[in-house]
Amino acid sequence: MKINWKIVGGFGAHIKSNRTELVIQHKGTITEIPIEDLSHFLVIGGHNIQSSALTTLIKQGVFISFCESDGEPIGYITPYEYTAFDEIRRLQESALTYSYALECAQGSIQSRILAIEKYASVHGDTILFSGEMDILSGYSQEINNMVRIEEIRRIEQLVRDMYYEIISRIIDPVYHFRRRTGGPSQDPVNAVLSFGYGMLSSACTKAIIGGHLHPSKGFLSRGKNSLVNDLVNCWKTKMIDEKAIELIQSGLLKRDTYEIGKTRCILHDKVIEKLIQAFLESVLLDVIDSQIDILVQSLNNEVPFRIIR
């Protein structure tokens, strides 16, 4: 089974293909990739793609997905074999959402508490303000008593906000990272996180579509990509944040490796190349695929739903 995926990030690449190879020309460098080795082609940012390349990839069963330059998922193109099974999606839409929403929220909250405890053990308890861990632990217990999904969603969001505020204290203040922001990233740390989240979300979307589920029929979240968001929020700390913080603390973001414009922070190509290489290793496709298998089995009443942590 093909498991490899190729990511093109930044701007200005020219993408074409012949019958057997995907050809990517970017700033004087030509890369040729055997199409038979590809299962997923992810395009992040603005590039020129020949329609014949898309046709060739689709014919070979390659899943193609697109993200904005800041990592925001846009959409995907799927081969015919990814056509949804009506029965699976019917089960997804008719599922009793509470237990699924609670499990997703618990997965997200626990992953963030564990990450904070790890960073505190490395950097010292000084990164925590008085009572913060007690508040987080209280939220973790309180969520089990919530009876409405809106309440569960609110608590999960509060924990996420606290998590980003806490990890901002181990990031060099020169980057002006204070919290997680939506939309175009205004600082390089948010830009790095957004890029990684885009890769993780695209991998999760591919698995969801492959499982004949709808990516926007979530349990805890609502709206576009809501099922994707339900799942990736449980894995961001381990699959993206840990590696991103490691790279940032090792000196990835020198002042000449990004530009802060009027509307967004733009990462240079050398940074993007390093991020792609790092996140290709940290995004665990086998975990994502196994999670979708569990979800599908649960919808069929074969196993209880659980988040793989």
pLDDT band at 243 (very low <50, low <70, confident <90, very high): very high
Domain ranges of the chain: 4-67, 86-299
DSSP codes joined into one string, 183-207: SS-SSHHHHHHHHHHHHHHHHHHHH
pLDDT digits (tens, 9 = 90+) for 98-139: 999 999 999 999 999 999 999 999 999 899 999 999 999 999
CA distances from 266 to 40, 198, 258 (A): 25, 15, 6
Q: How far apart are CA 309 and CA 306, in angstroms?
A: 9
Angle, in degrees to the nearest 10, between helices 269-282 and 188-210: 40
CA distance 137 to 144: 12
Spatial CB neighbours of 105, under 8 Å, sequence gap ≥ 6: 143, 152, 153, 155, 156, 220
According to DSSP, the residues that pair with 267 across neighbouring strands are 258
Confidence at residue 216, expressed as pLDDT on a 0 to 100 scale = 95
pTM across the whole model = 0.93
* Interval 190-207 mean pLDDT: 97
Give kind and range of the element (H or E) at residue 30: strand 29-34
Give the amino acid at 48.
N
Q: What is the CATH number of domain 4-67?
A: 3.100.10.20
Query: Is 4-67's fold the same as 86-299's?
Result: no
Mean pLDDT across 270-284: 96
Q: What percent of the chain clears pLDDT 70, i.e. is strictly above it?
A: 98
Q: How many beta carbons lie within 10 A of that of residue 301, not counting itself?
A: 8
86-299: which CATH number, 3.30.70.270, 2.40.50.140, 1.10.3720.10, 1.20.120.920? 1.20.120.920
Task: Evaluate if residue 253 carries a pLDDT over 90.
Answer: yes
What is the model's pLDDT at position 83? 62
Residue 81 has a pLDDT of 72
Mean pLDDT of the chain: 94
Distance in angstroms (rounded) separating the CA atoms of residues 23 and 18 = 8
Percent of the chain with pLDDT over 90: 88
Q: What is the pLDDT of residue 2?
A: 54
- What is the C-alpha separation between 198 and 8, in angstroms, rounded? 12
- As a whole number, mean pLDDT of residues 208-220 equals 94
